[in-house]
Amino acid sequence: MRTYLSIAEIIVAVVLIIAVLTQVKGTSGGVFGGGQSTFRTRRGVERIMFQFTLVLGGIFVLLSIASLLVG
């Protein structure tokens, strides 16, 4: 069981890293792109990516706690 939790945690971690790096920041956008310090509302795909990142973060935390409890 611990092996499956570890594998799931690694997969979620990699997907979470990719999701964070692909989010567009400012108008220059892209991976590692600089951003402007203006605040604006997230819309469309950007909002979905933000919510997806939050869900992945929550799943990662739950898997980490479950891994500690099983171990």
The boundaries of the domain holding residue 11 are 2-24+43-70
CA distance 68 to 5: 10
- Residue 11 lies inside a defined structural domain of this protein: yes
Residue 2, Ramachandran bin (φ over 0: left; ψ between -120 and 50: alpha; else beta): alpha
Give the pLDDT confidence score for residue 43 in this predicted structure.
83
Domain count, the chain: 1
Structural tokens at position 56 = 């992945």
The DSSP-derived string for 34-52 is ---S------THHHHHHHH
- Residue 15 lies inside a defined structural domain of this protein: yes
- Residue 54 lies inside a defined structural domain of this protein: yes
pTM for this entry: 0.75
- Residue 30 lies inside a defined structural domain of this protein: no
Q: What is the pLDDT of residues 28-43, one digit of tens each?
A: 555 555 555 566 777 8
- Residue 55 lies inside a defined structural domain of this protein: yes
- Residue 32 lies inside a defined structural domain of this protein: no
Give the pLDDT confidence score for residue 33 in this predicted structure.
54
The pLDDT profile of the chain, 71 residues, written as one tens digit per residue, is 889 999 999 999 999 999 999 986 654 555 555 555 566 777 888 889 999 999 999 999 999 999 999 97
Give the pLDDT confidence score for residue 45 in this predicted structure.
87
* Sequence-distant contacts of 65-68: CB under 8 A, at least 24 apart: 66/5, 67/2, 67/5, 67/6, 67/9
